[in-house]
Chains A and B, each alone.
Chain A
Amino acid sequence: MRRFLRPGHDPVRERLKRDLFQFNKTVEHGFPHQPSALGYSPSLRILAIGTRSGAIKLYGAPGVEFMGLHRENNAVTQIHLLPGQCQLITLLDDNSLHLWSLKVKGGTSELQEDESFTLRGPPGAAPSATQITVVLPHSSCELLYLGTESGNVFVVQLPAFRLLEDRTISSDAVLQRLPEEARHRRVFEMVEALQEHPRDPNQILIGYSRGLVVIWDLQSSRVLYHFLSSQQLENICWQRDGRLLVSCHSDGSYCQWLVSSDTQQPEPLRSLVPYGPFPCKAITKILWLTNRQGLPFIIFQGGMPRASYGDRHCISVVHDGQQTAFDFTSRVIDFTVLTEADPTAAFDDPYVLVVLAEEELVVIDLQTAGWPPVQLPYLASLHCSAITCSHHVSNIPLKLWERIIAAGSRQNSHFSTMEWPIDGGTSLTPAPPQRDLLLTGHEDGTVRFWDASGVCLRLLYKLSTVHVFFTDTDPNENLNAQGEDEWPPLRKVGSFDPYSDDPRLGIQKIFLCKYSSYLAVAGTAGQVLVLELNDEAAEQTVEQAEADLLQDQEGYRWKGHERLAARSGPVHFEPGFQPFVLVQCQPPAVVTSLALHSEWRLVAFGTSHGFGLFDHQQRRQVFVKCTLHPSDQLALEGPLSRVKSLKKSLRQSFRRMRRSRVSSRKRHPAGTPGEVQEGSAKAERPGPQNMELAPVQRKIEARSAEDSFTGFVRTLYFADTYLRDSSRHCPSLWAGTNGGTVYAFSLRVPPAERRMDEPVRAEQAKEIQLMHRAPVVGILVLDGHSVPLPEPLEVAHDLSKSPDMQGSHQLLVVSEEQFKVFTLPKVSAKLKLKLTALEGSRVRRVSVAHFGSRRAEDYGEHHLAVLTNLGDIQVVSLPHLKPQVRYSCIRREDVSGIASCVFTKYGQGFYLISPSEFERFSLSTKWLVEPRCLVDSAETKNHRPGNGAGPKKAPSRARISGTQSDGEGALATGVRLERPWSVASAMAESE
């Protein structure tokens, strides 16, 4: 029982632990999940996005980010940044208003909630009386006008949210002050629009949904003007000089009204249905923006012909005879236009259109001809196609970094050259000490390379593996589909594309060697590609090979998908990573593990049937090994086979149906007493009805060799170690399976000068069957100093000490349940940590990380970072396997979050909090990437000097933040999808 006792606390170690470990969730990268509101402050130059989960996120210059979360977790429906202030008002869907402010504390700004308020009517009033529909912050920043469903406009004083009842503009009061002829039928309609006069703060405009618009004088409480339209009002816009109104309506029309005191005309100046004459959908928002060049910009949302384009999500821009309907792949939440911020300026001079769609943010340059999109430095849609896997590489050499950026910049030629226009605030984050890459594999067969060094996750380069294969779709189909004289003039924008051509193209495993620039990617249909970085475009043939993992075992039938058909001839590849070897596993099951050794030029891959080793220098297979257990029927049929379970589930559903019929009869017994008796007698027995109410049960059964998916290869590892005897070390390949088996192969790699002449040889040296049979999730060899062996080529590049080959090596095998250290070459157990037996949690991810001390500059320790199925993150010491710290990180129900977690080599990590967002966390005290920024309202960044000059002429402000140091360019193209992980990977995780 001694082992259950807690070890005594060593104060020295405890202090050291505090210097080494600390847990923080630092940044959320990517695009907010389910955005619901957009706000922009022209004076602060800060963009705000609210989400359905009650989060608000503020973005300024790259690196300037803030996040806040409402306690109520209700959807944010509106965000208004108070003009010229570091304050914002949010309206939630529970009708509550919240005041947030950016306060400077210790040199950095923090977003915090100051006040909240719910508008309450007199007792007995209908709830709709106070249901807020529009919020207008007055330019004085002291008053808030709240339009409601009842048609009343309430006035609230800021910052305390004091309701000024005497200043309420009730709909009755407005009615009484209207001329006689406008008074009929205008009762109980909600306020659709509230606008302040652009020049005169004493006038506000109130638009009611039935079509009445009044201009109200706040001082004298009277109607200055009124306008009556025959259509339902959707929204309204005031021209900058206040002399013209533009209203948009539910029939897809918009009207211009002249505001002049001399004549009160009953008809609009001009009324237009832009996409008529057939019935159109409503125009929900319109902006009328003047331009010093003359003709105004008219930008409106919706209004498409109902029958043929009613399903499109469009924003149209009309200017100077040009008209374009930007067509978004997801619903448009809101849009705003960046204009001249100085309220006294004569013209709006719009220069950028910012559109928040449900799955991405699109920014369009309105000053460059053709209105090209602007590349985003943040808010990238990570999920433009669903993320299927991710891989992190720390400390990228500068050369490789520059080559990747160069390859990526050629892919971004269609973007505007405009500098990022939303650049409020100052980032105080020091330049990141090293360059980190995050690689994400996607369902459409692409790999995206992200700059993960700093606060902003920027897309550097996108690699597509599709060209290697024949696919159904013609790649040029989408690009040139739009003809010149199409009407409406639709133009696809944005990168969110949830449709995958072929799910087999999905990327499942990625391995990048940062020294040799070799990349291996593996996918859903058993394809393994080895790629090489090339700065020039090339036309080359991809060498193809097949790896038969079943090896003559008769009687196995693969019922899953076909393998992909590869193109046989030479294929044109863009500059960047270009494939030269394709290995296709047979049967074409999902590749479940992958390892690349760039020094030996070997790539190892594993599926649920076995694993193989391929020599990519000589382009030949070294060996394959089948890991199937003969009784493992499930593995043989493949993950896509649902034959058995379908039958079972059908049977079950029939039973359930019958059962529910029986029980419903029992619940409503017929009137005769005999039947009642019978019913009650039945209920006495533990019948099916009771069974249905039975609580969740868990079977206690030891794992046996016959469990399914035992052959599933979970991990592959190359090591140069003492596998056979203690005098000679040799290259080796280690593989761990789902059934708790570890295979070790000793390899003979010919020396470099004869590398092409002699074949690589392999022979099995060891096989370890873990008695507890839990899936092996990690294998690691520790050198004589108990330090993990370095990566291949790390020593050759002088970035690591060469491993100690004098002392005896140790083998660490991490299964889902235990950590176990064995001696080498004679494999005998040395020590172990039985995690599951003690805590009931299972290891999901494990990775070696180096933890630096925050006090001593050069002190650091290697430990294991572990993620469990409960979402806890632990640090386990090496080589003594002592648990160091434990933090709860991810909710245990968040299976896709746990499955998506990756650790970095320096104690940080990422996991998906939604299909489109990575949460970044840090276990280390030394390596911490978090936004530190300052936003100051007094900071009079006098917007655009040289009033009206284009942003391109604007002096290039010192673009703070280290993330920019690597050169401009490289922005986000995004696309996305709801299905988070592919079926196969989800199954693997749920094992």
Chain B
Amino acid sequence: MNRSFHKSQTLRFYDCSAVEVKSKFGAEFRRFSLDRHKPGKFEDFYKLVVHTHHISNSDVTIGYADVHGDLLPINNDDNFCKAVSSANPLLRVFIQKREEAERGSLGAGSLCRRRRALGALRDEGPRRRAHLDIGLPRDFRPVSSIIDVDLVPETHRRVRLHRHGCEKPLGFYIRDGASVRVTPHGLEKVPGIFISRMVPGGLAESTGLLAVNDEVLEVNGIEVAGKTLDQVTDMMIANSHNLIVTVKPANQRNNVVRGSRALGSSGPPSDSIIAGLGGPPTPRILQNFHPDEAESDEDNDVVIEGMLEPARSPQAPGAPAGSLSRVNGAGLAQRLQRDLALDGSLQRLLSSLRADPRHSLALPPGGVEEHGPAVTL
């Protein structure tokens, strides 16, 4: 323990181009390092991983945790490069047996995503690597987008804000204001709700789809007219898991020109056209929505069932000991995902601990770090 800690310190401080990798298979950890600037080929990496874990005889998929804590796949050179270059400072790699991986899923929100029968598509694994192997659409994190372009008037814009992880703030403010409407009686001033401010670094700002002084017309399909600022605030927060706002942008120059699509652009008129471009780590991708995803805002409550040792003994405020976490509606969570989730909660816990050293809390069992042999290459 002491030794490995020392090693990693060495790596971090003396060889800046080295990326520390922590590879996890089941309950086992392996540690090694890679060159940040020359990570090499995916095939070599795959061999290395399989060798380190002594599982060369089984077929595995490799994933990594990105900065947002989402589990993304490593299955070609490109995403391998991306994984290594974006590691800060530790690259956490997760290995799953292929059979298991098929039942689970990678990608953002994988914790709550429903299982889908996609096993057949999975066959094109690392074996048929003759052509470029890209991840499945669902392996990517859904990002914020403009939707319903065919339904909404050209001057309006319907935006779906996709939150990933709980850490990133939605990040905007709304205010009361007045807008001018054309009515049968001429121009009239009517009260409206406007975006007043963006939080720097917040989700709304990073998508670039909303701007200050945009007028909010609808929240998740419900008209805002006649509602108070507080009501609209509550509606937005209550829908924050899947917030769809229809706005009238203050800047009308960037509107989607519908004519071009009518002239016969390729492909069917899809739900979503433009992907919001996230911050630096967000890959630039085209987003495809599953039609049923509109209903995927199921807020899955977490149910913990378990026996508690009879009462009066002191209890850590975290997860109860020996409890089994189950995500409602998703069936039994993958072990991997649970570990990931625990890691997340542990990080949060640790950060809160760091903030106030007075707290001496028992860590949730299973969440204690750094066991097993560390291998340095």
Contacts and interface: CB of A to CB of B under 8 A. Distances in A.
Interface of A: 1, 4, 551-555, 621-631, 694-705, 761-772, 774, 817-818, 820, 827-829, 834, 836-842, 870
A836 B328 contact: no
Given A699-B173, A702-B170, A838-B222, A764 B306 contact: yes
B116 to A, nearest CB: 19
A695 B237 contact: no
Listed residue (B169, B312, B320) with the most chain A CB atoms within 10 angstroms of its CB: B312
10 contacts: A1-B294, A623-B310, A628-B317, A695-B196, A699-B172, A699-B233, A829-B300, A836-B234, A840-B230, A842-B234
Given A555-B356, A630-B359, A764-B320, A696 B176 contact: yes
B308 to A, nearest CB: 3
Given A702-B241, A771-B301, 17 more contacts: A4-B221, A555-B358, A630-B353, A694-B196, A695-B175, A700-B237, A701-B171, A702-B170, A702-B237, A703-B237, A704-B166, A764-B307, A765-B306, A766-B305, A827-B303, A836-B237, A839-B231
A827 B361 CA distance: 29
A698 B231 contact: no
A841 B238 contact: no
Contact of B238 (A628, A772, A820): A772
Contacts of B173: 697-700
Interface in B80-119: none
B166 A624 contact: no
Contacts of A764: 306-308, 320
B303 A698 contact: no
A886 to B, nearest CB: 14
Which residue among A552, A627, A697, A768 has the maximum number of chain B CB atoms within 10 Å of its CB?
A697
Contacts of A827: 303, 305, 328
A698 B175 contact: yes
B352 interface: yes
Contact of B222 (A4, A695, A818): A4
Contacts of B221: 1, 4
A705 B352 CA distance: 12
A870 B228 CA distance: 10
A763 B240 contact: no
A834 B220 CA distance: 12
A818 B301 CA distance: 12
A841 B231 CA distance: 6
B317 A766 contact: no
B163 A702 contact: yes
A703 B174 CA distance: 17
Interface residues of B, number: 66
B231 A767 contact: no
B172 A700 contact: yes
B198 to A, nearest CB: 10
A825 to B, nearest CB: 9
Nearest to A771: B299
Contacts of A762: 310-311
Contact of A837 (B235, B305, B306, B353): B235
A631 to B, nearest CB: 4
Contacts of B353: 630
B308 A763 contact: yes
Contact of A828 (B175, B229, B329): B329
Residue of B235, B236, B299 with highest tally of chain A CB at under 10 A:
B299
A623 B311 CA distance: 5
B315 interface: yes
B239 interface: yes
A763 B317 contact: no
A622 B311 contact: yes
A825 B262 CA distance: 55
Given A4-B222, A698-B174, A829-B328, A630 B303 contact: no
A839 B228 CA distance: 10
Contacts of A837: 220, 235, 238-239
Contacts of A625: 311, 315
Contact of A701 (B170, B231, B306, B312): B170
Interface in B219-277: 220-222, 227-241
B314 interface: yes
B374 interface: no
A551 B166 CA distance: 29
B236 A700 contact: yes
A555 B360 CA distance: 8
A473 B286 CA distance: 75
B329 to A, nearest CB: 7
B177 A695 contact: yes
Contact of A768 (B166, B301, B329): B301
Nearest to A748: B310
A840 B235 contact: yes
Given A553-B317, A697-B196, A772 B175 contact: no
B167 to A, nearest CB: 8
B373 to A, nearest CB: 33
Interface string B305-327: 11111111011010010010000
B38 interface: no
